Amino acid sequence: MFNCKEPHKLRVLAITRKPHSASFEQRIWNHIELLRYQGIDVTVRVYPKAIREQAAVLVESKGYDLVWWHRHLLPLWRLHQLRKSAKRIVFDFDDPVGFSTRTHGRSFMRSRRFAALLRACDAAMVGSCYLEKLALSYCANVYRIPMAISLPDVRSKPDLQKKGIELLWLGSKSTQKYLEALRPALERIGELRPDIGMRLVAHKPMSFGALKTVFVQWSPEAQEQALQECDIGLCPMPDTPWTRGKCPYKVLQYMANGMPWVGSAVGENIITAGVAGSSDQRGVCATGADEWVQAVVVLADNSQRPHLGANCREYIAQHHEREKVAEQIAATLRGIKS
């Protein structure tokens, strides 16, 4: 699949403040080996917190063809140093980092730094349509690079005729709070449909009235088992400037495992779900408790769930499969260099 005969090796310096974050892992780290087959050598440097050590990383960028800058916003004086040192800069982000990470609303300082960084860059690589629109206000060369995921082998679902339907929510501490807004809907589902339960693969237990909820402490193994065994994924999110630009990775995990899902009608969820009732529908978007209850019950009773699950996997294969995304990144990086 990969072309190993590139005439020139591209030397790229990837700089991140958070090397252990899911964002860095998904946007850069998981692509490094695949990019090497494309003749692109990526060196990773952690941007230090200590001011005295930051300049050394920026000066190092002089020795590379291109800087792949991950998420972090810079003070204007540091940005000037980066621009002076780097031959080319591409800014990669998968969240609307110009907004406040705490309140998810407007932030004068972050907005100013966001705009300045984009103006100083040669290009931007973003994770969603919403982020693409934000970036185009300040940068002419913006490339939408989707989040990537590998397609796992999917085992046949166990016979659930006796035990019913199992919903799934999995995620991090920062997003588990979104389930609180879904509480009225989940409690009503428990009252209406005792055959529907939920597996919560998370960092702390929660209960939802009559809805039978099994809590499992999050781990890679618990996550993988749940993705193989459960029937309908859940992705609630509030509608804020921050979430409108997010790329919910859990939806991609559900879909890669052939699992239809219900999510809030926010941002990328709307695009990823497909058109309701169409032959290529993959999920259902809902707003408000009544719509959530209806969406879950309809999916639970829908004999077309296997068909929706097949649509999910096909969509991932076409738009998010890891090797295809790596090829997009390689072509983008080479285009920026030229």
DSSP states along 243-311: GGG---HHHHHHHHTT--EEEES-THHHHHH--TTSTT--EEEE-HHHHHHHHHHHHHT-TTHHHHHHH
Put simply, whether the predicted model's pTM sits higher than 0.85 gets the answer: yes
Where does the pLDDT of residue 162 fall: very low under 50, low under 70, confident under 90, or very high at 90 and above? Answer: very low
Whether 112 and 185 map to the same domain: the answer is no
CA angle 138, 127, 69 (to 5 degrees): 65
Whether 49 and 67 map to the same domain: the answer is yes
Whether 181 and 91 map to the same domain: the answer is no
Where does the pLDDT of residue 157 fall: very low under 50, low under 70, confident under 90, or very high at 90 and above? Answer: low
For residues 79 and 157, the model is more confident at 79
pLDDT at 5 exceeding the cut of 70? no
> What is the domain count for the chain?
2
> How large is the average pLDDT for residues 174-185?
92
Whether 131 and 174 map to the same domain: the answer is no
Where does the pLDDT of residue 335 fall: very low under 50, low under 70, confident under 90, or very high at 90 and above? Answer: very high
pLDDT at residue number 266: 92
pLDDT at residue number 284: 93
Q: Is 153 among the domain residues? A: no
Q: At what angle do helices 183-192 and 288-300 cross, to 10 degrees?
A: 40
Residue 93 near residue 124 (C-beta atoms within 8 A):
yes
pLDDT at residue number 160: 45
| Residue 54 belongs to domain with CATH number | 3.40.50.2000
pLDDT averaged over the chain? 91
Q: Is 279 among the domain residues? A: yes
Which phi-psi region, left, alpha or beta, contains residue 327 (left: φ > 0; alpha: ψ -120 to 50)?
A: alpha
Whether 16 and 86 map to the same domain: the answer is yes
pLDDT at residue number 7: 52
pLDDT at residue number 137: 95
pLDDT at 93 exceeding the cut of 60? yes
Give the pLDDT confidence of 214-269 residue by residue, as tens digits.
Answer: 999 999 999 999 999 999 999 999 998 888 888 789 999 999 999 999 999 998 88
Q: Is 152 among the domain residues? A: no
Give the pLDDT confidence of 295-320 residue by residue, as tens digits.
Answer: 999 999 988 888 999 999 999 999 99
Quote the percentage of the chain above a pLDDT of 90. 78
Q: Is 157 among the domain residues? A: no
Burial class (CB in 10 A: 0-12, 13-18, 19+), 299: buried
Q: Is 303 among the domain residues? A: yes
Question: Which of 40, 41, 72 is closest to 58 using CA atoms?
Answer: 72
> How large is the average pLDDT for residues 177-199?
95
CB within 8 Å of 183: residues ≥ 6 apart: 208
Q: Look up residue 88 and give its two tokens.
A: 């080319």
pLDDT at 278 exceeding the cut of 80? yes
Residue 217 structural domain? 165-319
CA dist 163 and 129 (Å) reads 40
Where does the pLDDT of residue 105 fall: very low under 50, low under 70, confident under 90, or very high at 90 and above? Answer: confident
- φ/ψ (deg, to 5) at 125: -120, 120
Quote the percentage of the chain above a pLDDT of 70. 95
Of 47-61, 122-136, 154-168, 227-241, where does mean pLDDT reach its minimum?
Answer: 154-168
DSSP 62: G
Whether 312 and 178 map to the same domain: the answer is yes
Where does the pLDDT of residue 18 fall: very low under 50, low under 70, confident under 90, or very high at 90 and above? Answer: very high
Q: Look up residue 80 and give its two tokens.
A: 């000037």
Q: Is 187 helix (H, G, I), strand (E, B) or coil?
A: helix
pLDDT at residue number 271: 87
Whether 44 and 79 map to the same domain: the answer is yes
DSSP 331: H
Where does the pLDDT of residue 156 fall: very low under 50, low under 70, confident under 90, or very high at 90 and above? Answer: low
Q: Is 44 among the domain residues? A: yes
> How large is the average pLDDT for residues 195-201?
96
CA dist 330 and 338 (Å) reads 12
CA dist 33 and 201 (Å) reads 30
Q: Is 4 among the domain residues? A: no
pLDDT at residue number 245: 85
Q: Is 89 among the domain residues? A: yes
